[in-house]
Amino acid sequence: MAGPNTPVMQQHAAAKRVQPDAIVFFRLGDFYEMFGDDAVVCSRALDLTLTSRNKGKPDEVPMAGVPHHAAHQYIARLLALGHKVAICEQMADPSKVKGIVPREVVRVITPGLVTDREQLDARSNNWLAALECSGERVGIALFDLSTGELAVAEVEDLAALLAELGRAGPREVLVGAADAGLAESASAALRQTLPVASVQSDPPLDDASVDLGVFAPDARSLGPLALAAAARALRFARACTPGKELPLRRVARWDPQAHLVIDAVAQRHLELTESASGLRQATLLGVIDVTESAAGARLLRRRLLAPLVDVGRIRRRHDQVELFVVHPRLRADVRAALSDVTDLERIVSRASLGEANPRELGSLRDGLAAAARVFSVLGSVEDRESRETLGLVGPRDLCSDLAAELMRALVERPPAQAKEGAIFADAYDAELDELDALQKTGAERMAELETQLRDSTGINTLKLRFTRVFGWYIEVTRSQAGKTPTNWRRKQTVRSGERYTTPELDDLADKITNAEERYRERELDLLRELVRAVAQAGNRISELSGRLARWDVASAMAEVAHRYDYSRPVVDDSDRLELGESRHPVVERLAAKGRFVPNDVQLALDAERLWLITGPNMAGKSTLLRQTALCVILAQLGGFVPAASARIGVVDRVLSRVGASDDVARGESTFMVEMRETAEILRRATRRSLLILDEIGRGTSTYDGLAIAWAVAEHIDEAVQCRALFATHYHELTELGNGSEHVANHCVSAREVGQDVVFLHRLVPGAASRSYGIAVARLAGLPEAVLARAKAILVGLEGSGGSVVHKPRRADAQLGLFERPEPEDPGAREVLDTLRALDVDRMTPLEALGLLSRLKNRLT
Ligand code: ADP
């Protein structure tokens, strides 16, 4: 490709030099065009037609384009693929400049720096994570450009880093270190581990970029790595928003120690924010998020992934929830007012970046009015204690000055774009009103002039018209052209007739155009001023938004407690975990009304601290394990719990290993994954942790599996000594419960009725008497012949006696069932293998259908 030799292509080359790793969206009139490699990439990724510019000339270059008004959709798709996009705009009105329009990159959009509403999820933060690595230690900064929040922390090691990133779920990660090589290798490693499309290494910092100014006054307490990480995040964000003021509201020092650690595995297994099925209603967040505002929803999500460990703070949150529970009227009124609170934080951030449009300002005005209503509703709370609980004492700032200004300034429903209609209300600005009047009288005078010309010439078809290119003119049909006065100047001849102008028309036309232009300019000036005023109130609005979000969360937790009958947990520093009649918050919602069977759990470090739970498949073991962990998480995030009573000695970590098969898809054997997770759990658990282990050892042969499960349970009992629930189908393990004072056997009961099994889902002390495997197999629809054969084998196996470990059960029985000649066809063998490995109990009907179709494909 020859070098760019037209001025436009030179501009493009300059933009590309500044942003070499971004796709440059180059504004040409009503389009954004991409050139060269960018065009090729975009044509593939966005399914655009690839054309070329300067076709047939030596500097021919590939080109692809999108209309500017549809650009955000295309940008969103590129970001999802991990690209960056640099927007290169025309910096002047093309009609007003002689020669080439100046163009500059005004914004680089990366996945972590999105501010466009349509590309953001209103209910979660959009974090950019910047890391500063030094040996094992890592400084983390999380910056959300769309809300102006910045949180910084330092962690000890990789595992802690992954836990923190797991909570945040950043869209983009910058990995840096004093040594560029270290940054490079660390980012390569993280790219493998993190489910983030964009993980990149970031060049080392120089001293100048660590600007302490923004962190004052407690910057020094942050620690050098945290500080460097923050500097890195801000350096990156600044480079992507040239010439703009970064919205930076709250710099929060994040203390990982102050929060319950929910490791990534537990987060997934407990289906806190995402479910295996992909259904939102099947997650804890889906059940408890009844917040009314976007900021409230974001706060709840953050709290859910980072519950507290400080008893005092947890109780203060419970106090608020309780207040809203016992005052249903107050709760309803507050929630009604909150539902009109718009996304103040995000609008203000866009104002800081100069991106806020008139419609958003209108939405800010309405949101501030709703905020005032929230305060006035809460104003009905009179006793001092309740007011303190709600945080109503002390100064309040409703930003009423700004609210009033917006109220005065804007029309009822301002348009999204400046050119789409009036933005400002009458009587807001004298100059604007005057220009508006001029435009209007201009139009009237034009109409008058038309009548006057018709009368004076007697040409009754005469018209005054306007086109963009020719401006105003008099149009006369060809047949009447003879009647025109001689002093009219002919402008143009068209098929339909002749076009003229007169000095009087020119004069009036100038006045109108002038008034229009000056109106637009004045409007834009006023808009800029208003946006600036909003940006200046940024910290105040953000503060206000934070208070509203906290009330939103508290009243939402109260609403959930009321709707679903949750109760206030007692959280203390004890080492107990006592749940009376607890339920699984999600399963109980999906179950038929009244069908969920509540259960009790009672653990204490000096008494029974490890419960071994046995019972047939489908009895409810996993559900019990998960609900216990979920109750702890709910309690510590400040919510009420789905139980009749709860006493929870604060837990520092929830660690879980709940049988999952989805890791198989990532190409590792289930057993390997399971053992790695188990190893991790045993390494991390402290005496304050809660361990949830489900079906350890399942992924291997019976002997190995049992041996490992046994050893793990013993290790927890003797070495870790924390509260734990351990579900297993290895019946033999229950012997452990008979040997240790801290281990107790419980089973989820089922009853055999004739040949069938009925699940009671009720947890009772003692070990399950039988495995019911065959009854469950019947329930699943295994043919009678197979069931009969299985029974015979079982009787044989049980009859063979021997010591516990020598009593093979499951795997060997399976071998017996499948002792048949193997098919020759590898496809058929594969299908058989898949079927054998299948755990039907754990499949949803949808998954089963999907599998069936995949199997069929493999055979045909
Ligand atoms: P297991 O782990 O013992 O195989 P699960 O915990 O997966 O069993 O439970 C199987 C199904 O039984 C769940 O999907 C749920 O629908 C139902 N279930 C579990 N516990 C209860 C309960 N306490 N009350 C009512 N239904 C339950």
Per-residue tokens: 816: 């017996």
Residues 6+ apart with CB under 8 A from 264: 162, 163, 166
Ligand 1 closest atom vs CA 727? 2
Confidence of residue 625 (pLDDT cuts 50, 70, 90): very high
**Do 274 and 528 touch, CB atoms closer than 8 A?**
no
**What average pLDDT does the segment 666-670 reach?**
54
The minimum-distance atom of ligand 1 relative to the CA of 616 is 3
Q: What is the pLDDT of residue 599?
A: 96
**C-beta 658 within 6 A of ligand 1:** no
What was the pLDDT predicted at 659? Answer: 55
Tokens of 422: 């009036």
Taking the C-alpha atoms of residue 752 and residue 11, their distance in angstroms, rounded to an integer, is: 80
**pLDDT at residue number 142:** 96
Q: How far is CA 787 from CA 775, 777, 808, in A?
A: 9, 7, 18
Using CA positions, which residue lies closest to atom 25 of ligand 1?
Answer: 596
Q: At 525, list the tokens.
A: 């000036």
Which range among 190-194, 315-319, 680-684 has the greatest average pLDDT? 315-319
What is the edge-to-edge ordering of all strands in the sheet holding 31-35? 51-53, 61-67, 31-35, 23-28, 85-90, 103-109
- Count Cβ atoms below 10 Å from residue 12 Cβ, excluding itself: 24
pLDDT on residue 661: 47
620 Cβ inside 6 Å of ligand 1: yes
Contact 560, 296 (CB under 8 A): no
- pLDDT(720) > 80: yes
Residue 428 pLDDT exceeds 50:
yes
Enumerate the β-bridge partners of residue 823: none
Our answer on whether the CB atom of 615 is closer than 6 Å to any ligand 1 atom is yes
Summarised one tens digit per residue, pLDDT across range 599-621 is 999 999 999 999 999 887 788 99
Atom of ligand 1 nearest to the CA of 584: 23
Find out whether 698 and 659 touch, Cβ atoms under 8 Å. yes
Residue 202: pLDDT over 60: yes
**Residue 566 CA, ligand 1 centroid: distance in Å:** 20
Tokens, residue 323: 């207040």
**Centroid of chain to Cα 77:** 16
This prediction's pTM = 0.85
| Pocket mutation for ligand 1, best pick of 269, 279, 583, 587 (most atoms within 8 Å of C-beta) | 587
Average pLDDT, the chain: 87
591 lines ligand 1 (CB under 6 A): yes
Please give the residue that has the higher pLDDT: either 760 or 403.
Answer: 403
How much is the average pLDDT of 746-752?
81
Query: Which of 215-219, 257-261, 508-512 shows the lowest mean pLDDT across its residues?
Result: 215-219
* Whether residue 372 has pLDDT greater than 80: yes
Q: Is the CB of 299 under 6 A from ligand 1?
A: no
Res 397 pLDDT > 80: yes
Q: How confident is the model at residue 811 (pLDDT cuts 50, 70, 90)?
A: very low
628 lines ligand 1 (CB under 6 A): no
Per-residue confidence band for 797, with pLDDT thresholds at 50, 70 and 90: low
CB 709 within 8 A of CB 730: yes
Ligand 1 atom 9, closest CA: 620
pLDDT in tens, 175-188: 999 888 889 998 99
Residues in the chain, overall count:
860
Q: Radius of gyration (Cα) for the chain, nearest Å? A: 35
> Alpha carbon of 785 to those of 778, 796, 832: distances in Å?
11, 17, 19
Q: Tell me, what DSSP letter sits at residue 242?
A: T
Collapse the DSSP code of 446 into the 3-class scheme (helix H, G, I; strand E, B; otherwise coil) and give the result: helix
pLDDT digits (tens, 9 = 90+) for 40-71: 999 999 999 999 888 888 778 999 999 998 99
Q: Is 619 in the pocket of ligand 1 (CB under 6 A)?
A: yes
Range in 239-243, 336-340, 759-763, 823-827 the model is least confident about = 823-827
Other beta carbons within 10 angstroms of residue 306's beta carbon come to 20
Query: Which residue from 623, 630, 731, 840 has its CB within 8 A of the most atoms of ligand 1, so it is best to mutate?
Result: 623
Residue 618 CB–ligand 1 contact under 6 Å: yes
Crossing angle for the helix pair 294-305 and 344-352, to the nearest 10 degrees: 100
Q: What is the pLDDT at residue 737?
A: 81
